[in-house]
Structure 1
Amino acid sequence: MTTVYDVPPADLINAVAEELKASGKITPPAWAAYVKTGVHTEMPPSNADWWYVRCASVLRHVYVDGPVGVSRLRTHYGGKTKNRVVTGRTVKGSGSIIREALQQLEKAGYVKKQKDGRHITPEGQAFLDNIAHKVKMRLVEKIPELARY
């Protein structure tokens, strides 16, 4: 049985983002085209499908690190400010983006909210594990030595 831990995160997140976009359960908000992802960034994301990638990444983090809340995810998606004179400091990422992504994932049935934070549902776990299996099979086709792992 293949799980999220058995495949590279970047490959998994890209595959999950494609699946979320194709399913139609996740839709970017109207403001997503104009917003930055945090105070530490200067420009909005250049990827047109960045909303699906962020939702896929949030879903993976809930799976791996759950239960998690918005504040803990803001810390993960934060970065360092780039001030010119003063040394940069670490700041948190946008809470609105993470909150909206979690709410959409809840409506899709992949995440549930409880008292101690957001948890992955059995449907969400099965969704991620199935995509992880597909990603692993694609990797095995490219590199046959990975089949024994």
Structure 2
Amino acid sequence: MAKVYDVPADMLISRLADILKNEDIPAPEWASFVKTGAHADKPPQDKDWWHTRCASILRKIYLHGPVGVNELCKEYGGGKPLGYGARHHKDASGAIIRNAIHGLEKLGYLDKVEKKGRVASKQGMQKLDKLATEILKELSAEKPELKVYS
């Protein structure tokens, strides 16, 4: 069985975002006009950005867990130019990350570790690993030189 490490991140996140759209993880009503952080100039142009962010957060927690909200804010943040000087790092919005984590916890994909943050639950790991296996099989069908070890 393939793991999340074995497939390209962009393919996994886009597929997982499509799956999360069909599940019960609705975007908040303010998601259409909110910026993703102090570093951003405008709200995201993609109208399904919420599910993409949820999928990305689930993948990051799977790979690096236990992870807290503050660590994810730093990870999703970016540079903001201040005058003529160099860019300074600004964290991403904590409310967006917190709401996404709560939605993923309700689905049973994340578990809370006391004083450390969140980790992927057994159900979340299985979902990501099955999806990674499907993607790797499709990639190996396109390119036979890739080997799938099951």
Cross-structure match for 1:138: 138
Same amino acid, percent of matched pairs: 43
Compute the RMSD of aligned alpha carbons. Answer: 1.2
Question: After TM superposition, where is structure 1 displaced by more than 3 Å over at least 4 residues in a row?
Answer: none
Residue ranges of structure 1 left out of the alignment (5+ in a row)? none
TM-score by length of 2: 0.94
1:112-148: CA deviation from partner (whole Å, max 9, x where unpaired): 1121210110000000001111111121122121125
* Residue identity in the other structure for 1:109: G
Q: Compute the displacement of 1:30 (Å).
A: 0.3
Q: 1:148 to 1:125 in 2, by over 3 A?
A: closer
**Is residue 2 from structure 1 mapped to residue 8 from structure 2 by the alignment?**
no
Deviates more, 1:137-146 or 1:54-63: 137-146
Distance of 1:77 and 1:139 partners within structure 2: 28
Residue 65 of structure 2 is matched in structure 1 by 66
Tell me whether 1:78 sits opposite 2:77 in the alignment: yes
The correspondence of residues 78-117 of structure 1 with structure 2, limited to 5 A, is 78-115=77-114, 116-117=116-117
Q: Which runs of 5+ in 2 are unaligned?
A: none
Aligned pairs (5 A) from 1:2-21? 2-21=2-21
The aligned counterpart of 1:121 is: 121
Deviations 1:61-104 (A, max 9, x none): 11000000000000100000023423220111110100000000
SS of 2:147's partner is helix
2:141 and 2:82 mapped to 1: Cα distance?
46
The residue type paired with residue 27 of structure 2 is: P
Counterpart position of 1:40 = 39
In 2, Cα distance between equivalents of 1:87 and 1:42: 17
* Partner Cα separation in structure 2 for residue 8 and residue 68 of structure 1: 21
TM-score, structure 1 normalization: 0.95
Q: Deviation at 1:111?
A: 0.2
Equivalent pair of 2:137/2:148 in contact (CA under 8 Å): no
Count of aligned pairs between the two proteins? 148
